[in-house]
Amino acid sequence: MKLKTKKALEGFVADARRLLGDNLKSVVLYGSAASGDFVEGHSDLNLLLVLEQVDLKRLRQGGRLFKSWVRRGNPAPLVFTTAEMQRSADVFPIEFLDMKESHQVLYGLDPLEGLDVDPKNLRLQCENELRGKLVRLRSLYLPISDRPRAVKKLLIDSSSSFHTLFRNVLRLLGEAPPIHRRQVVEKLVERLGVDREALVRVHDLREGKIKITSSELDELLDSYLGVISTVIDSVDRLSGK
């Protein structure tokens, strides 16, 4: 992570403390920036804010800060109350498990400490999100199928979401998921026998390590869609249906 990025995070925390005061309990960095898998220009800076109370008045107090943060190309921070963190583990198992494994507390107490997630909820969310994102990926491809640059961007942008889900599929299979993408690829190939080349090439494309022709891009996307379908079938079988 570059010094400029670190200073942006420090500035956000300082402004959040000033604007939100005692209502701000925690600021947590999670995702690739916390795991060491951050790629400048592609990766997001994901933040979790925990407040004592959340209502429109208190959200407006940080409105300018959030607006400025998003204008810089960052996703809007997730905002929970302290009580909501404890009550939401059953509906956000993927998000909270990933946060627990790779996060950095920038301010306050660690809100993820002691947070328990039921594996049954994890399987259901994994299958739901995998199927939903596969359908969406196909739909987004349709109007841009003749525009290689747009297809390349779609593939790269979608890879982060699928990587998160692949890590959680490994959890369902009884594996402690690696943090880094290439290690996740190798473990997924080992457990499910999916197309290793497709996963590695998508990873390398995201990091700018390879160049690819239009025809190769279509072949890669087709193979990648096949990998996702295989993973979905594996998760579905875990339900005992």
Instruction: Write the CATH number for 220.
Output: 1.20.120
The amino acid that residue 97 corresponds to is L
Q: Where residue 48 sits, what CATH number does that domain have? A: 3.30.460.10
Name the residue among 180, 178, 229 with its Cα closest to residue 207: 180
pTM reported for the whole predicted model: 0.68
Is 126 found in the same domain as 43?
no
Domain-embedded: residue 57: yes
Number of domains in the chain: 2
Last residue of a domain, one of 89, 108, 127: 108
Is 205 found in the same domain as 149?
yes
Domain-embedded: residue 113: no
Q: Which domain holds residue 28?
A: 3-108
* Chain CA centroid to CA 194, Å: 21
Is 213 found in the same domain as 132?
yes
Name the residue among 112, 102, 107 with its Cα closest to residue 80: 112
Is 72 found in the same domain as 158?
no
Is 130 found in the same domain as 42?
no
* Secondary element (H or E) of residue 107: strand 103-108
Domain-embedded: residue 67: yes
Is 100 found in the same domain as 123?
no
Is 141 found in the same domain as 166?
yes
Last residue of a domain, one of 108, 133, 148: 108
Domain-embedded: residue 114: no
Is 228 found in the same domain as 153?
yes
Given this model, what pLDDT does residue 209 score? 92
Is 123 found in the same domain as 34?
no
pLDDT in tens, the chain (241 residues): 677 888 999 999 999 999 999 999 999 999 888 877 766 666 788 999 999 998 888 888 888 889 999 998 889 999 999 889 888 888 889 889 889 888 999 999 999 998 887 778 899 999 999 999 999 999 999 999 999 999 999 999 999 899 999 999 999 999 989 888 899 999 999 999 999 999 999 999 998 999 999 999 999 999 999 999 999 999 999 976 5
Q: What angle (nearest 5°) sits at the alpha carbon of residue 40, between those of residues 77 and 46?
A: 15
